[in-house]
Amino acid sequence: MSEKSLHASSGPGSQLNGDDGLMRLGPAASEMTPLAFLDRATRIFAERTAVIDGERGLTYAELDGEVRRLAAALVELGLRPGDRVAVLAPNTALMLAAHYAVPLAGGVLLALNTRLNAGEVQWIVGHAGAALLIHDEALGDLAAGAAVRTVAEPELRALAAGLDPLARTPLDDLGLLALNYTSGTTGRPKGVMYQHRGAYLQAMAMAYHARLRPGSVYLWTLPMFHCNGWCFPWAVTAAGATHVCLPQVDPVAIWQQLERHRVTHFNAAPTVLSMLAWHEQAGAWTPEWPIEVGTGGAPPSPALLERMEELGFVIRHLYGLTETYGPIVVNDWQPEWDELSIAGRARLIARQGNSNILAGQLRLAGAAELGEVQVRGNNVMLGYYEDAAATAEAFTEDGWFRTGDLGVMDDDGYVELRDRAKNVIISGGENIASIEVEHAIASHPAVLEAAVVARPDPHWGEVPVAFVELKPDGKVTDEELIDHVRDRIARFKAPKRVIFGQLPRTATGKVQKFELREST
């Protein structure tokens, strides 16, 4: 080592990384907003097909024009910066355009679940203090009750048609982009606050993990009103790929669209995949190109993953919540898994994974083995709108978001969820993870899907009860199913009762366990 002093020349640079906390941006720094993705796509992919909605197709140049005229119409209607704009529409070109037009006009997007009832719409619109409600023509009745100015799509389009496109003006990329009210299985819905920057980063992470390219064709099976479609309205555009609208989730329509538009990507909850995988049309046609499917929202069973792979789909398991802009966790495929059997791969993919490429850290908090999954990252919400108490409760004191989901971590760092904290069944002092029982039931060939909940029991405290939906031609008795489970997992985990029938679901396909608990 030479003897020259380490700090002989520390003068000029000390200003650069000082402790003053000063923010420093370069002269050419640009805003981290999803709007930048449409700017880019319009510049580079102007003549590529941006969106297909029924028989209508728009290039990126046309989508950009439409977005800017819709934004001009919002301004014409009196929209002021920061105003919330509610949108009530299925997965149509309007809903997609609103993901750009509302923020372009300076507004905050409030996409509403089309399966809400009028009272719920009223409550959310009121809580969000929306200034305007835009709706699909068919949803006029649902919109009518809200205490807000409502505009049907044809009126909005008529107004927009006569206006000059609105140009983009500078915006605060740390400001609010969207509110997403959680479906809230209990209590009032909470308005999750999304920021421009967070959505920009999450959209980028999704484009990376889904491998979206200019030639990709994305089918809109996932509702855009759900977590803003996991940020795919922006991710697909970032890649210059094509959006294919799908107003209703219907297995026949999905199978048709996959073939007709040579779809390469879609996302769906496992319950939608179940519908597809065991539909009578399944297997009648095998795609000649890889179709990449992102699934999450509930843990898919290994049996479902195996079946999907047999049908020729490439499954990517994702995990997240409305509070995390959709999938903050991904199951990143590792090349060694190629060597495994389909069943072996399915077991590994059934795990949720770990942070996506732009997410922050992930930890299991609490018990040594089974802990609550807690996450950090710029793709975690700013908080719940006008609900400081709920926001405070959602984060730990040191700034980790509490998912409320319990998981274990494998040696390779991949997390597998065991259950929602509230879904754990405590029987005779032993914890039973309802998911484990559900997967054991779902491995029976007659079963389409299963949900297991706790029933209070004077002797055991709680016992597991299974609600089971069978495949169209599936036949099995409750005794046979209970034996099937006992052959696979600890006997005390087997359901004490099996109830057959259709499972109650939310709009996004989540089984509503609170309803099931009431009918045990």
Interface positions, 153-212, toward its own copies (CB under 8 A)? 155, 172, 174-176, 193, 195, 198, 204, 207-208, 211
Cα(276)–Cα(253) distance, rounded to whole angstroms? 10
Note whether 287 binds its own copies by CB under 8 A: no
**Per-residue x/- marks for its own copies, 406-425, CB under 8 A?**
------xxx-----------
Dihedral (Cα; 108, 113, 114, 120), 10-degree rounding: -100
Output 359 or 432, the one with its CB closest to its own copies: 359
Shorter beta-carbon distance to its own copies: residue 193 or 454:
193
| DSSP state letter for 290 | -
CB of 57 to its own copies, least distance (A): 16
Contact 75, 188 (CB under 8 A): no
DSSP 511: B
Q: Which residues, 487 to 506, sit near its own copies by CB under 8 A?
A: none
Q: Whole-angstrom Cα distance, residue 294 to residue 242?
A: 17
CA distances from 113 to 66, 91, 127, 225, 401 (A): 24, 11, 15, 6, 24
| Cα distance between residue 209 and residue 442, in whole Å | 28
Stretch 212-251: interaction string toward its own copies, x if CB under 8 A? -xxx----------------------xxx-----------
For 115, the 3-state DSSP assignment is coil
- Region near its own copies per CB under 8 A, out of 150-158, 431-439, 497-505, 510-518: 150-158
Query: Cβ closer to its own copies: 37 or 225?
Result: 37
Closest approach of its own copies to the CB of residue 274, in Å: 28
DSSP for residue 7: T
Query: C-beta of 518: minimal distance to its own copies in Å?
Result: 34
Region of 379 on the Ramachandran plot (φ > 0 left; ψ -120 to 50 alpha; else beta): alpha
Cα-based torsion angle of the residue sequence 217, 219, 224, 227 in order, rounded to the nearest 10 degrees: -80
Q: Where are the beta strands (DSSP E) in 182-263?
A: 191-195, 217-219, 242-244
Segment 327 to 356, residues that bind its own copies, using CB under 8 A: 332-335, 353-355
- Residue from 343, 357, 365, 367 touching its own copies (CB under 8 A): that is 357
The Cβ of residue 368 has, within 10 Å, a number of other Cβ atoms equal to 6
Contacts with its own copies, 374-393, as mask; x by CB under 8 A: -xxxx-xxxx-xx----x--
Tell me, letter by letter, the H, E, C secondary structure of 427-460.
Answer: ECCEEECHHHHHHHHHCCCCEEEEEEEEEEECCC
3-state secondary structure of 380: coil
Six token digits for residue 106: 């300076």
Q: Kindly state the number of chain residues that form the binding site for its own copies, as judged by CB under 8 A.
A: 110
Whichever of 14 and 186 has its CB closer to its own copies, that residue is: 14
Residues 293-332 interacting with its own copies (rule: CB under 8 A) = 332
Span near its own copies by CB under 8 A; candidates 31-39, 268-276, 286-294, 438-446:
31-39
Instruction: Quote the least distance from Cβ 22 to its own copies, whole Å.
Output: 8
Closest approach, Cβ 11 to its own copies, in A, equals: 6
Of 508, 490, 440, 29, the C-alpha closest to 268 is 508
CB of 214 to its own copies, least distance (A): 5
- 300, amino acid identity: P
CA 220 and chain centroid, separation = 12
Q: How far apart are CA 96 and CA 114, in angstroms?
A: 15
Site for its own copies in 96-135 (CB under 8 A): 106, 108, 126, 128-132
Task: Tell me the torsion sign for CA atoms 99, 102, 105, 106.
Answer: negative
User: Is beta strand 49-53 parallel, antiparallel or unpaired with respect to 242-244?
Assistant: parallel
Name the minimum Å distance from CB 512 to its own copies. Answer: 28
Minimum distance of its own copies from residue 466's CB (angstroms):
34
| 452: β partners | 466
Residue with Cβ nearer its own copies (256 or 334): 334
Candidates 64, 66, 83, 309; binder of its own copies (CB under 8 A) is 83
In whole angstroms, the minimum distance from the beta carbon of 89 to its own copies comes to 17
Nearer to its own copies, 322 or 354 (CB): 354
The CB density around residue 280, as the number of other CB atoms within 10 Å, is 11
DSSP 3-state assignment of 191?
Answer: strand
Tell me which stretch binds its own copies (CB under 8 A): 15-23, 267-275, 467-475, 481-489.
15-23
Nearest distance in Å: CB 213, its own copies:
8
Please say which residue, 147 or 284, places its beta carbon nearer to its own copies: 147
For residues 36-65, which are near its own copies according to CB under 8 A?
Answer: 36-37, 39-40, 43-48
Of 23-31, 473-481, 487-495, 507-515, the window that binds its own copies (rule: CB under 8 A) is: 23-31
Q: Which of 147, 284, 368, 388 binds its own copies (CB under 8 A)?
A: 147
CB atoms within 10 A of CB 517: 15
CB of 366 to its own copies, least distance (A): 18
By the 8 A CB rule, do 137 and 111 touch?
A: no
Residue 69 vs 444, nearer CB to its own copies? 69
